[in-house]
Amino acid sequence: MAAREDQGPETTDLICCRCERLCDPIDVETCPVCKQLFCTFCTYRIGSRSYCSRACGDSFFFGGGDEEDGDE
């Protein structure tokens, strides 16, 4: 907590990977599958989680990505 740099508005690129819109931080989430940012408008929900796309959601939900099995 000591080294907090300037507290200006963060200019991280919060671009939705789907619609490529510049979003507010509260409007974006990170896809647990592809690690890309997606906005609330592009959210694909399956189970109790949100994903950037149906492809990601389905692959995670049905693809057995529930637990890492120590297989690198």
Contact positions toward Zn ion, by CB under 5 A?
A: 16, 18-19, 31, 33-34, 39, 41-42, 52, 56
Q: Is 36 exposed, middle or buried (0-12, 13-18, 19+ CB in 10 A)?
A: middle
Nearer to Zn ion, 57 or 71 (CB): 57
* Least Å from the CB of residue 12 to Zn ion: 16
Q: Which is nearer to Zn ion, 24 or 71 (CB)?
A: 24
Q: How far is the CB of 22 from Zn ion (least distance, A)?
A: 10
First to last CA, the chain: 35
